[in-house]
Amino acid sequence: MASAPTSKYNSHSLENESIKRTSRDGVNRDVGETLPRLPGEIRITDKEVIYICPFNGPIKGRVYITNYRLYLRSLETDSALILDVPLGVISRIEKMGGATSRGENSYGLDITCKDLRNLRFALKQEGHSRRDMFEILTRYAFPLAHSLPIFAFLNEEKFNVDGWTVYNPVEEYRRQGLPNHHWRITFINKCYKLCDTYPALLVVPYRASDEDLRRVATFRSRNRIPVLSWIHPENKTVIVRCSQPLVGMSGKRNKEDERYLDVIRETNRQVNKLTIYDARPNVNAVANKATGGGYESDDVYHNAELFFLDIHNIHVMRESLKKVKDIVYPNVEESHWLSSLESTHWLEHIKLVLTGAIQVADRVSSGKSSVVVHCSDGWDRTAQLTSLAMLMLDSFYRSIEGFEILVQKEWISFGHKFASRIGHGDKNHADADRSPIFLQFIDCVWQMSKQFPTAFEFNERFLITILDHLYSCRFGTFLYNCESAREKQKVTERTVSLWSLINSNKDKFKNPFYTKEINRVLYPVASMRHLELWVNYYIRWNPRIKQQQPNPVEQRYMELLALRDEYIKRLDELQLANSAKLSDPSASPSSPSQMMPHVQTHF
């Protein structure tokens, strides 16, 4: 990977893949450097272009396109700019200008990326270079439209850790103390016959038979029946997830479904109510009746209390993120930053999601009752709520591997539609199915880690790396919509897991302040006073808003850690020397100043 003289710019991006610039000393240190390539990555073409950098103006460079990335190196002597962009991040490619427009930059390409930036290039009119670049980019950025494989299937990277082994559902449930005499593991969905978007292995009430499950499935949207996500180790209340009941306009009922929820309630005998959190706003839940959905009304589900959490749908979230981009890219809104930020509603949505998760966690933690969480289909808002509540309740998920398991379990195995929400390899940028739901979840995690800076084993870079590879298509981790599709495509055999990359290089992703505290419930404060825009992610392309990496407190702490280790070593040595000296009293001790390592930090 390129070693840029100003390391400052590296930390924000995908493993150094981003903009780098030398200081104005004019030395081009990147000459002779070759195009970085992953095993299995093939170079397709290269072109001379002008990169229209929104921050530093036009820069002449050479762009290389492979089947994985777009790589640009500056050809100007006073700039060491490098762009290294995985093609998977591209959402849209447009031609700008042409023969009729004037100016040297008239033959342009505008590339919209999923990670909140745009790349603009101007090409020469001669030799159809723009047409070539457009076609090649389109082909490799949107392989699905051209019957080409996604790069993850071509990637031949090898890591010394296999990320696919991180999550084993049986082990994870065993960690939670399952099965027990109220909950059993069922293989009813082994061939995805009960529910094609659920995982093969499910945890259900011991008292519910497989036949019951099948009947309940008919009454839940897309057969996503209520199943256990998490059980409290002490009070045994549970978090159960599902989709909406198919009540419809006529107010249909299903005895098995009603009994099933009651059975869930009864797994915990201390309480006589079951709490149902419907993630949607009340009005939307009512409106969903028109399309056959609905919610559990209390005159039918007597032993349940229903609360709406007012979290908006995927379309609202998509528009909100668009507005965020509008105020941060390329220029940060200056004159009315705060009110502009407010008008995006992004942090307001974050607040509602966190508030919902806090309520779920509090219900369970206080032992008040078990909780059922659903939205419409139970794969977007539901995944956000259950996984965030679990993160608040269970410190295991705050470790690096624990978090990977959480994502693997609540998101990937339970069928969050990554392929549809992200649009991997798909050219239809305007698809209404796309929505930044998972990004929103990671943002919530970041907000929590910001509020509790010692509670998470992983650092910000870990979260940003996950988000970068959510789009990159370098790993198989986030491909496809559900487990059955992944199995069909043999994803675990044919692709590399993102966790392989991370776990084979864990130190990079560790938070030095991490203090392991078992059984500590974390309740973030879901107030606008504390929520902030994640500048290091959303505004990371703007060189002016770069935060110091690492921050001074962290840097100081790392220095002290090193110093401590050094001293401990020295003490051990002294101890040895002492015992040696006891046998040889003639040796004179050296002065302390000679022996002491130089202390860099002053107190």
Annotated binding site: 288, 313-314, 376-381, 417, 421
Query: Smallest gap, in angstroms, from Cβ of residue 220 to other proteins?
Result: 11
Question: Is position 552 an interface residue for other proteins (rule: CB under 8 A)?
Answer: yes
* Catalytic residue from among 242, 375, 473, 482: 375
Whether the bond between 169 and the residue before it is cis, its omega within 30 degrees of 0, is no
In the complex with other proteins, the residue whose CB is nearer, 71 or 438, is 438
Question: Is position 3 an interface residue for other proteins (rule: CB under 8 A)?
Answer: no
366 closest CA partner among 527, 524, 179, 523: 523
Question: Is position 261 an interface residue for other proteins (rule: CB under 8 A)?
Answer: no
The DSSP bridge pattern shows strands 118-123 and 90-96 to be unpaired
Q: Report the residue from 1, 191, 561, 580 that binds other proteins according to the rule CB under 8 A.
A: 561
How many residues are present in the chain?
603
Q: Report the residue from 526, 537, 540, 541 that binds other proteins according to the rule CB under 8 A.
A: 526
Alpha carbon distance, N-terminus to C-terminus of the chain = 37
**Distance in angstroms (rounded) separating the CA atoms of residues 97 and 418:** 34
In the complex with other proteins, the residue whose CB is nearer, 162 or 348, is 348
Considering only residues 169-228, where is the footprint of other proteins by CB under 8 A?
221-222
Question: Is position 533 an interface residue for other proteins (rule: CB under 8 A)?
Answer: yes
Q: Report the residue from 518, 592, 598, 600 that binds other proteins according to the rule CB under 8 A.
A: 592
8 Å CB contact between 224 and 377: yes
Let me know if 185 is exposed, middle or buried by CB neighbors in 10 A (0-12, 13-18, 19+): middle
- Strands, E assignment, 31-138: 43-53, 57-66, 69-74, 82-86, 90-96, 107-113, 118-123
Considering only residues 15-54, where is the footprint of other proteins by CB under 8 A?
21, 23
In the complex with other proteins, the residue whose CB is nearer, 34 or 594, is 594
Question: Is position 400 an interface residue for other proteins (rule: CB under 8 A)?
Answer: no
Q: Report the residue from 157, 262, 362, 487 that binds other proteins according to the rule CB under 8 A.
A: 362
Question: Is position 527 an interface residue for other proteins (rule: CB under 8 A)?
Answer: yes
In the complex with other proteins, the residue whose CB is nearer, 8 or 429, is 8
Question: Is 510 strand, coil or helix?
Answer: strand
**Token pair belonging to 363:** 């219900």
**Token pair belonging to 262:** 């009651």
Query: Smallest gap, in angstroms, from Cβ of residue 294 to other proteins?
Result: 11
Q: Specify the stretch interacting with other proteins by CB under 8 A; choose among 11-19, 110-118, 233-241, 569-577.
A: 569-577
Question: Is position 482 an interface residue for other proteins (rule: CB under 8 A)?
Answer: no
Residue 375 annotated among the catalytic residues of the structure: yes
Tokens 């009340």 identify what position?
282
Question: Is position 351 an interface residue for other proteins (rule: CB under 8 A)?
Answer: yes
Q: Report the residue from 34, 100, 147, 339 that binds other proteins according to the rule CB under 8 A.
A: 339
Residues 221-240, one symbol each (x = binds other proteins by CB under 8 A, - = not), give xx------------------
**Distance in angstroms (rounded) separating the CA atoms of residues 407 and 436:** 15
Considering only residues 366-385, where is the footprint of other proteins by CB under 8 A?
366, 375-377, 380
In the complex with other proteins, the residue whose CB is nearer, 41 or 115, is 115
Question: Is position 516 an interface residue for other proteins (rule: CB under 8 A)?
Answer: no
Residue 601 CA neighbour count, 13 Å, CB half: 13
Alpha carbon 21 to chain centroid distance? 28
Considering only residues 274-303, where is the footprint of other proteins by CB under 8 A?
281, 283-284, 287-288, 291-293
**Distance in angstroms (rounded) separating the CA atoms of residues 342 and 337:** 9
Considering only residues 418-477, where is the footprint of other proteins by CB under 8 A?
433, 451-455
8 Å CB contact between 58 and 26: no
8 Å CB contact between 227 and 210: no
For residue 238, what is the enclosing H or E element?
A: strand 238-242
Which residues are the active-site residues?
375
